[in-house]
Amino acid sequence: MDEEEAEQNNTVCGFYNEDLTHKTILVGDSGVGKTSLLVQFDQGKFIPGSFSATVGIGFTNKVVTVGDVKVKLQIWDTAGQERFRSVTHAYYRDAHALLLLYDITSKTSFDNIRAWLTEIHEYAQSDAVIMLLGNKEYGVIFMETSAKTGVNVDLAFMTVAKELIGRSVEPPTDPKFQLQDLREEVTRETSCCGFT
């Protein structure tokens, strides 16, 4: 059975249907890497320096599996330039999720987050999922933390400790840190009797 037949079979069997199509919008300043992020998610590859600024808006569809349910994500890549804002505002209205990107190497793109959030709150549905993503890198370990909620605070210090131990054994080249590996390790250490 090829991929198209499998998708049709899932539709018939009720595992996949149009009700599970979710419109997701990528927003943020021009040059923060929205198109690159989308290509990495869709095709699993990074194509350096090959994208010119997005003009207007473009989209791709991708089906992902969450548990036993297949979900179709309709992902819209928006232009970050001011002259296209009136066009992109129209797409916010029926968005289920908005991924707001900034370039961690550009203070301006981070400073503009407040203006982007103002637009999102003005034009998007009140129940839309909003996620802030720091994109690009300096060649250093990066993660977001919250002193208020404690999110990733322990993980940040555990990461530093793990990297220091690794460097005492082997001289550094690129960071050896893999966020998923450490999260799994921390979860195992903090869980009791199979519960986290």
> Which CATH number do you get for residue 75?
3.40.50.300
The confidence score (pLDDT) of residue 36 equals: 84
Whether 54 and 100 share a structural domain = yes
**DSSP reduced 3-state for 70:** strand
Q: What is the pLDDT of residue 165?
A: 81
162 lies in the same domain as 111 = no
Domain check: are 38 and 112 in the same one? yes
H/E stretch holding 188: helix 179-190
Backbone angles phi, psi at 101, to 5 degrees: -105, 145
What pLDDT is attached to residue 188? 57
pLDDT of residue 101: 93
Domain endpoint, select from 86, 113, 135: 135
CB atoms within 10 A of CB 29: 23
For residue 85, the enclosing domain spans 3-135
Tell me, yes or no, whether 88 and 100 share the same domain.
Answer: yes
End residue of a domain, out of 88, 114, 135: 135
* Interval 89-142: pLDDT, tens: 788 899 999 999 999 889 999 999 999 999 999 999 999 999 999 988 777 777
Low-confidence ranges of the chain (pLDDT < 50): 1-3, 5-14, 18, 55, 83, 190-196
pLDDT of residue 143: 81
Residues 157 and 90 in one domain: no
User: What is the C-alpha separation between 191 and 155, in angstroms, rounded?
Assistant: 15
